[in-house]
Amino acid sequence: MPPRDDPPLSYQPRLPQRRDFRIGILGAGFIVRDCHLVAYRQAGFQPFAIASRNPQRAEAVAQQHGVPRVHRTYADVMADPEVEVLDIAVPPDVQPELIWQAVRHHDHIRGILAQKPLAMSYRLARECVEACAAAGIVLAVNQNMRYDQSVRALRDLLQRGWLGEPVLATIEMRAIPHWMPWSAQLPSLSTFIMSIHHLDTFRFWFGTPDRVLASTRSDPRTSFPHRDGINLYILEYDRGLRAAAWDDVWSGPCREGSGSDIAIRWRVEGTDGLAKGTIGWPSYPARAPSTLDYTTRRHGGEWVQPRWEEVWFPDAFVGTMAQLLCALEEGTEPEISGRDNLETIALCAAVYAAATEHRVTTVAEFASETA
């Protein structure tokens, strides 16, 4: 019989004692309106000021969520002496410049939560990390899939050792992203926007891989030119583990008349057990919790199926801000620090190069000053 005194798996974020850090928000698009601000109010955080390239949109979002101050420009938010924390939610090609502007206000800005990807190259991401460090500002990155409930619960399961030595891990995504207009201007599409979630999750579960193999092709439905649409990649670890993902942003002609089979599924097999799960995000805006099922020798071969009510969008966004606020409160590094996230950026670059140049790559090759 399985042990009955096992503590429940940990899937919730750790919250700060202090909830009243005054947060200034740069951006008022969907991710802010429907995720960040919903989650912050849910957790008791204090969104304090907001600005957008579209002032009317900022006004509307502020009114909807009770944000007391609306500034005309991003610069005005950064210069507001009462703002302690910046939440940057803008496209990745313009984010570094805003971070560099923000560090000039280190007299009152103590922390920055940057959107993922931190930048579109390792060099720019590294410059953001170094600028914040030099200014004494704590930089965290909004890699929000780390706070999906099934992803976090599996991490706890792995840390307990109940699966034994990990052997094979897979993520299979069959979903259709909504590519924002700014995506068309980027040098990479799927790798830095969609695959980055799964690549960072593999790092969260297992660490940074030693080698990368990858292949990509264009997505027939996406009308603007791009190189990396559907991504297939394998991450090799010297200790033997292999992790692989199929990031299928096409998912068949279900918008063109066929039936639909949209889902995100993951699976991890170890020497002492296996776990499998689903990610509920494709059902958004319907609330569909992610799932986890696992079976181990320890549990006598039974399938254990913990469940929860929380969902990735928007509930996971409590965790991404909370990890920054905890770091500010305790004088520690955030769970997803800018410096840690540099390896995720380098991993994205390694996958993109492996796929487009048809060769095996390493993360170390792209984790350099010039990459």
Average pLDDT (304-314) is 97
Q: Are residues 138 and 208 in the same domain?
A: no
Residue 213 lies in a domain: yes
Q: Are residues 53 and 154 in the same domain?
A: no
Nearest of 56, 132, 64, 59 to residue 98 by alpha carbon: 132
Nearest of 131, 88, 143 to residue 335 by alpha carbon: 143
Q: Are residues 202 and 62 in the same domain?
A: no
Q: Are residues 141 and 235 in the same domain?
A: no
pLDDT digits (tens, 9 = 90+) for 264-305: 999 999 999 999 999 999 999 999 999 999 999 999 999 999
Q: Are residues 118 and 227 in the same domain?
A: no
Q: What is the pLDDT of residue 1?
A: 45
Q: Are residues 96 and 77 in the same domain?
A: yes
pLDDT digits (tens, 9 = 90+) for 124-167: 999 999 999 999 999 999 999 999 999 999 999 999 999 999 99
What whole-number percentage of the chain has pLDDT above 90?
Answer: 97
Q: What is the pLDDT of residue 368?
A: 82
214 neighbors 354 (Cβ within 8 angstroms)? yes
Q: What is the pLDDT of residue 114?
A: 98
Q: Are residues 172 and 60 in the same domain?
A: no
**Full domain range(s) for residue 239:** 149-311+346-354
In the chain, % helix, strand, coil (3-state, to 5) comes to 35, 20, 40
**Residue 256: CATH number of its domain:** 3.30.360.10
pLDDT surpassing 60 at residue 2: no
Q: Are residues 94 and 167 in the same domain?
A: no
